[in-house]
Amino acid sequence: MSILARTLRPAAATVQRGVAHNAFARTMATYDSYNTLLVDVKENVGVITLNRPKALNALCDELITELNDATSKMDVDDEVRCIVLTGSEKAFAAGADISEMQTKEFVDSYRKNMFKDWTEIMGVSKPIIAAVNGYALGGGCELAMSCDIIIAGDRAKFGQPEITLGVIPGCGGTQRLVKAIGKSKAMEMVLTGKMIGAEQAEKDGLVSRVVPAAELMDSTMETAKKIASFSLPIAAMCKEAVNGSYDLGLNEGLRLERRLFHASFATKDQKEGMDAFLNKRTPEFTDL
């Protein structure tokens, strides 16, 4: 159960098209019946819904294991070209499951490198959009920041309240939040545990945009299908280049970008895209 669940408990348009089978994506995955997730694939978009409603989608080890399984399968699924990760109207994810962590000791946590598996989603090559309604706190905020784009419903709330539990963020909250909104704002959130609303999150640069809560999934799916309409390897290159800016200095980042730009000329999709532009027609990308 998350800290928020414990506190609140008493209140109780892209046309789908065929994808060429190639070295970039070889398989059509089949998804198991997960205990903590709902998984669907529609119009080339893989939709993963966190599904622990009684715990406000608190992130437990089982959920993370299933999430890693689902996203890794989608990464090599020919039918999936973009991934959407969402929760419920009340909570995207209200934090890590406190009941799993309460009795842990230092040696066990350190030896097993607790939370190591929680960042595997960063290794997925396909674009991932977090569609956030309700609470995204602690690990939930960190999970959203691990995605490539965050689109928020207007009632979403973000926060890193770990200090109220006598711990610090452990899944990137002190690192990604600084890069997203700057040191001073991140420091205030981490040191006070305060939440910020969707509009403030957009103003600070944490989310790409805010939409009415009722329109969140429609708006997110529209963006996902737009991304899905482009060349899959080129989208992966775009993602790699942007993520590189977090880890590299400016000169190395520019070099990575240039080399990936050069690499795009090895694809048939580059020839197709430029020919379509010059001949004023819609490109037909084949991911080759």
The residues that are catalytic are: 96, 139, 142, 162
Is residue 97 within 8 Å of 59, Cβ to Cβ?
yes
* CA dist., res. 63 & res. 99, Å (int): 14
Please give the Cα distance from 194 to 164 (Å, whole number): 10
Q: Is the separation of the CB atoms in 134 and 92 below 8 Å?
A: yes
DSSP E strands: which ranges in the chain? 37-42, 45-50, 82-86, 91-93, 128-132, 135-137, 149-153, 157-159, 195-197, 209-211
Structure tokens at 227: 């991304």
One-letter amino acid for residue 11 of the chain: A
Residue at token pair 């429609």: 218
**Cα separation, 274 vs 288, whole angstroms:** 14
Question: Which amino acid type is present at position 4?
Answer: L
Please count the other Cβ atoms lying within 10 Å of the Cβ belonging to residue 43: 17
Residue 203's Cβ-side half-sphere holds a number of Cα atoms within 13 Å equal to 7
CA distance 72 to 264: 24
